[in-house]
Amino acid sequence: MGTYTRLGLAGAGVTCGLLLLALSVGHNGDDDPAASTQPKNATAAPPKGPYVALGDSYTSGPGIPAQTGTPAGCDRSDRNYPALVAQKLQIKAADFRDVSCSGATLADLSAAQTTGDGVNPAQLSALSASTRLVTIGIGGNDIGFGSLVESCVKQGALYVATGSGKYTGDDAPCRGRYVSDSGDTDEVRQRIQAAGERLADTLREVEHRAPQAQVYVVGYPAILPAKGAGCDDDMTLAPDDATYLDDKERQLNSVLREQAASAGAGYVDTYTPSAGRDACSARETRWVEPLIPANAAAPVHPNERGERGMADAVLRTLKASR
């Protein structure tokens, strides 16, 4: 989702340097994060452009060849989901603008973003009255998901080194850092709600700049298994902390969907089709890579298979509007 804030998901023997290498995005179970929905400007056929793609690193596709576009620090791939959607819809190159960027937050949609290699103009500046299709994949960096996972990985290494809960009886040492003993206060949940409010403002601005566009908020694919099992080899996390991280991702997706619906925008569910294809699944089927990628991609980010799956989800949602 993010800088790709080189966020780390590490094993017990992985150094702190590697811990800085990973993600950059990030359920309470109250809401179903699935259920793709349609925008108010949906038409009988998908638009042929102009199409503008906004978003963070889960949209841009860092590490997936070939990297393209400017600035280079945005880490865009010519095989990310916006490029695949544009290709499938036969949108002319002149009518397609991908301005997504690794590390982007909602604030970077309305202001210039400095990267490690160049400055990305405010993403919303790519919109105009002629724009007919907009996809937005963002929010993970706003909740600090990268730092959250890094914290949980460090706790996971300690958890294993001290007997895997044998002596403490605590299978969620990281969760306890963010959730009060009573369970009434959850710091990450509060961040998610704040991100939802910022997204609402953003969607109003998108409608102002591109009033005739079909707008779709694209949710995040499954990053970790819902039950917190199967990650021992690739990413060391206490079992209930893995579940907690998945809960927070699902909760973020739910808020993205709710805000999209409130604004009259569509929502694209990428979590459901990616279930079982998370970073802890087999190399041949996973959509998201673990800390040490086996397929071309940034650590804890979608690989080419994942970007293709996300593109398919966008296209299915567009087709459903017919």
Q: Indicate whether 252 belongs to any domain.
A: yes
Q: Is residue 12 over pLDDT 50?
A: no
Positions marked active-site? 57, 301
Task: Please state the separation of Cα 316 from the chain's center in Å.
Answer: 19
Please tell me the total count of domains within the chain.
1
Residue 94: count other Cβ atoms within 10 Å of its Cβ.
8
Query: What is the pLDDT averaged over residues 45-68?
Result: 94
Q: Indicate whether 205 belongs to any domain.
A: yes
Long-range Cβ contacts of 193-197 (<8 Å, 24+ apart): 193/255, 194/142, 195/106, 195/139, 195/142, 195/143, 195/252, 195/255, 196/255, 196/256, 196/258, 196/259
228-256 tens-digit pLDDT: 666 766 678 888 888 889 999 999 999 99
SS3 167: coil
pLDDT (0 to 100) of residue 29: 41
Q: Is residue 19 over pLDDT 80?
A: no
pLDDT (0 to 100) of residue 47: 86
Q: Indicate whether 233 belongs to any domain.
A: yes
156-199 tens-digit pLDDT: 888 888 888 877 878 888 888 899 877 788 999 999 999 999 99
The domain that contains 63 carries what CATH number? 3.40.50.1110
User: Could you give the maximum distance between any two Cα atoms of the chain, in Å?
Assistant: 63
Q: Indicate whether 257 belongs to any domain.
A: yes
Q: Is residue 123 over pLDDT 70?
A: yes
Which residues form the domain of 69?
A: 16-320
SS3 17: helix
Q: Indicate whether 310 belongs to any domain.
A: yes
For residues 241 and 233, the answer to whether their CB atoms sit within 8 Å is no
* 44-61 per-residue burial string, b: 16 or more CB within 10 A, e: under 16: eebbebbbbbbbbbbbbb
Q: Indicate whether 6 belongs to any domain.
A: no
DSSP letter for each residue of 76-145 = EETTSHHHHHHHHTT--GGGEEE---TT--GGGGTS-EEETTEEEPPGGGG--TT--EEEEE--TGGGTH
Q: Indicate whether 2 belongs to any domain.
A: no
21-34 tens-digit pLDDT: 343 443 344 445 45
260-316 tens-digit pLDDT: 999 999 999 999 999 999 988 899 999 999 888 999 999 889 999 999 999 999 999
pLDDT (0 to 100) of residue 86: 98
Q: Indicate whether 3 belongs to any domain.
A: no
pLDDT (0 to 100) of residue 229: 63
